[in-house]
A and B are shown apart, each in its own frame.
Chain A
Amino acid sequence: MSDAPTMPKRSRTSEVPPARRRSRDASSIGLNLTSMIDVVFLLLVYFMVATDFKKAEEVYILDLPDRVEGMSADPFELDEEPLRIMVRSAGVDGTSFRLAVDGPWDPVRDFDGLYDFLLARQVDGMGGGLFAVDHPIVIVPEASLHWEFAIDAFNAAVRAGYRNVTLQEISS
């Protein structure tokens, strides 16, 4: 037995340098998600740009009674004479319009004027009017009239508070 001092035994772990030991502990199977995230974000941006964000759409309610099949109507009920508003096409390529209200009324120039006319002729209006809010109003567009002008006339009547507004069909 020698009295030479023995070196302390180093464990196997302590033989590895600290940096290599850390990398061995962290080694695990994993996916490289970077490229997938790139592709996914590209797809997302593509669909967001390609999507057409439209303005909200609104509707006017139009109920068309079936006059042919409507045999259940009261035969003794007197039909109110509807107020007929003629909208004719004017200008080059129908880019303008002309309004006429059937009856002994002053002519109206535009749709704001039509709105004022209809509002003033209402029973509850301030013009001493005759028409109730459910008085039938028939918009009579000309065949060559642009659809937007027919809608403008319809809008003027609905905006004035009338609830029984219809469009006259062109007789075939």
Chain B
Amino acid sequence: MASIFKRGPARPQANITSMIDVVFLLIVFFVLVSQIVDLESVDMELPEPEHPAAALPEEEPRAVLNVLPGDDGDCDGYRLAGVDYPPTPDGLGALRTALVAIYQQTPGIRVNLRADRATDYRWVSPVLQLVRQAAGLSGTGQDAARMNLVVQRGGDSS
């Protein structure tokens, strides 16, 4: 009994080392994820159809092409891999060149198309044309451009 109380009563302490590890991991996670999301995802209101028949994207190589929304259904440009292209003939030509390079680098890549729900179709149609042309010009032998039309999952999925 004497040896038990030799150093006085026990004083319990929490070991906070592991907690600090977890907290730092969470911080690093949030910092990295926010940067990755900003790189590929432009802030816009994606279409949200009722009774959507869309599916979750498969895990495969893909490039994200954003149609930057403007005022009154207009378009401020296009963004691919963090680079902005103006909606002019020169800008579209540069975008096609970039798409051809992507196809040559990764044959069979799928292009995710993100456009605001209020953007006029006149700004989306050139993108479909460019992607189709780039797939043909890449010389990789693929007979179709593979695209994903990105929408937002709605509340009613019946």
Please report which residues of chain A, range 135-172, place their CB below 8 angstroms from some CB of chain B when the two chains form the complex: 141-148, 150-152, 154-155, 158-159, 167, 169-170, 172
B-side interface mostly: mixed
Stretch at the interface among B23-31, B80-88, B93-101: B23-31
A51 in contact with B34 (CB, 8 Å):
yes
A78 interfacial contact with B, CB 8 Å: no
A159 to B55, CA, bound (A): 11
Stretch at the interface among A9-17, A66-74, A122-130: A66-74
Which residue of the partner chain, among B33, B57, B124, B126, contacts A172 with CB atoms under 8 Å?
B126
A167 in contact with B23 (CB, 8 Å):
no
A147 in contact with B153 (CB, 8 Å):
no
A62 in contact with B26 (CB, 8 Å):
no
B66 interfacial contact with A, CB 8 Å: no
How far is the CB of A114 from the nearest CB of chain B, in Å? 12
How far is the CB of B24 from the nearest CB of chain A, in Å? 7
A40 in contact with B49 (CB, 8 Å):
no
A93 to B118, CA, bound (A): 10
Which residue of the partner chain, among A66, A94, A167, contacts B120 with CB atoms under 8 Å?
A94
B1 interfacial contact with A, CB 8 Å: no
A155 to B152, CA, bound (A): 12
Given A56-B153, A59-B54, A145-B120, check contact A66 B47 (CB 8 Å). no
B121 in contact with A147 (CB, 8 Å):
yes
A-side interface mostly: mixed
Q: List residues of chain B with CB within 8 A of the CB of A62.
A: 128, 147-149
Given A44-B26, A64-B132, A147-B118, check contact A58 B147 (CB 8 Å). no
A1 interfacial contact with B, CB 8 Å: no
A22 in contact with B7 (CB, 8 Å):
yes
Which residue numbers of B lie inside 8 Å of A, CB to CB?
Answer: 7-8, 16, 20, 23-24, 26-27, 30-31, 33-34, 37, 41, 46-57, 72-73, 112, 115-122, 124-126, 128-129, 131-133, 135-136, 143-153
Q: Can you sample 22 A-B contacts with CB below 8 Å?
A: A22-B7, A25-B7, A55-B153, A56-B56, A57-B150, A58-B153, A59-B148, A59-B150, A59-B151, A60-B54, A61-B146, A61-B147, A66-B143, A141-B121, A143-B125, A146-B119, A146-B120, A147-B115, A147-B117, A147-B118, A151-B149, A159-B51
